[in-house]
Amino acid sequence: MDSLTLVVVASIVTAGFTMAIGTIGPALGEGRAVAGALDALARQPDASGTITRTLFVGLAMIESTAIYALVVSLVLLFANPLLSYFSH
Amino acid sequence: MNHPGLSPFPPVVFALGPVQVTLTVIYTWVEMAALVGVAAVFTRALGPRPGGGQNLLEMVVEWLLDTIGAVAGPRPERLLTLVGTLALFIAVGDCMSVVPGLMAPTRDLGTTAALSLVVFCAVPYYGVRDRGLTGYLRHYLEPAWVMLPFNLLAEVSRTVAMAVRLFGNMMSEELIIAVLLTLAGLLVPVPIMALSLLTGLVQAYIFSVLTLVYIGAVLGGRGGG
């Protein structure tokens, strides 16, 4: 197996694992965040503006780790910088 | 192997001397022209009894002022220029991704990094203007002086995070649409495009609110927010 094939196989497998494992944490975290927000909304419906805003900001922060994983796996699959090294 | 449209850095179109103009810059000019054009047309005859266009713009400005006031404390007018520009630029730019023939300028890591650097420089600017240099530098030692390296690191990492968050959302949306188009068919990505409109607007809101949160953290002193 020459090095180009090895790099391609490693990239594909890594991209899959990155997305699979990298989104478990953020998904669980977002679930807990929304659960907490719903709890707070049930207790104090008057503060719904603040709660909703804080919820969205918190979700964005949690989401960004999932986005990092997505970016890494997309770059590995579609814009792989290592292929130009090994395809010469 | 790597389609230029899918790469994180769009191709250079032409060069003005030492400055290389990429496709992103051209679409940024298109967006600038659109925003300035719409503003010029609708503010041509401002009056106390607004018609349709002026009403729409006033709704946008009021919403911006409300959001700024809710997050960053009293006197929202001081932050309206910066946060309003960021919100409008990112929102319109993200929506450009679903228009055929256009590309979202925020899909380029350079654009989002530039926006994020603007925020990075704006936070000390507003902090020093509000609290003075010593007051602003002292806030790095809050809540305890051992937090100084963590506060400094947080400044850098949240700037990077803002840039990558916006870039990642936009690029992955376009990439998914491109891949679906290649694999499935012509009208298959349409629901994904609708979703990308939504996430684009949400990301614009997130970027603006995070800017407000960071600036609001170094303001304060009177009233808090």
The DSSP annotation for A12-64 comes to HHHHHHHHHHHTHHHHHHHHHHHHHHHHHHHH-GGGHHHHHHHHHHHHHHHHH
How do residues A48-65 score in pLDDT, each as one tens digit?
A: 888 988 898 888 888 888
Question: Does A85 lie at the interface with B, CB-CB under 8 angstroms?
Answer: no
Give, as one character, the DSSP assignment of residue B20: E
From chain B, the residues in CB contact with A75 under 8 A are 8
- pLDDT > 70: what percent of chain B? 90
- Which has the closest alpha carbon to B86: B51, B123, B132, B127? B123
Residue B221 has pLDDT above 70, yes or no: no
Q: How far is residue B113's CA from residue B118's CA, in Å, rounded to a whole number?
A: 9
Nearest-Cα distance to chain B for A69, in Å, is 9
What is the DSSP-derived secondary structure letter of residue A87?
A: T
Question: Which residue on chain A is closest to B70 by alpha carbon?
Answer: A50
| Rg value, chain A, Cα | 20
Q: Note the pLDDT of residue B15.
A: 65
Q: Taking CA atoms, what residue in B is nearest to A57?
A: B206
List the one residue out of B117, B203, B94, B67 whose CA is nearest residue A60. Answer: B203
Helices B77-95, B109-138: crossing angle, 10 deg rounding: 160
- In this structure, are residues B24 and B170 in contact, taking their beta carbons and an 8 Å threshold? no
Which ipTM value was assigned to this complex?
0.72
Please indicate whether, in this complex, the C-beta atoms of B165 and A64 are within 8 angstroms of each other: yes
Chain A residues whose CB is inside 8 A of the B161 CB are: 61, 64
A78 contacts in chain B (CB < 8 Å): 2-3, 6, 175, 179
User: Mean pLDDT, to the nearest integer, of B157-174?
Assistant: 88
Note whether A47 contacts B: Cβ–Cβ < 8 A: no
Peptide bond into B143 cis (omega under 30): yes
- Please indicate, yes or no, whether the overall pTM of this predicted structure exceeds 0.90: no
> What does the pLDDT look like over A33-48, one tens digit per residue?
999 999 999 999 998 8
pLDDT at B75 over 70: yes
pLDDT for B224 equals 39
Distances (CA, A) of B31 to B35, B169, B207: 6, 19, 18
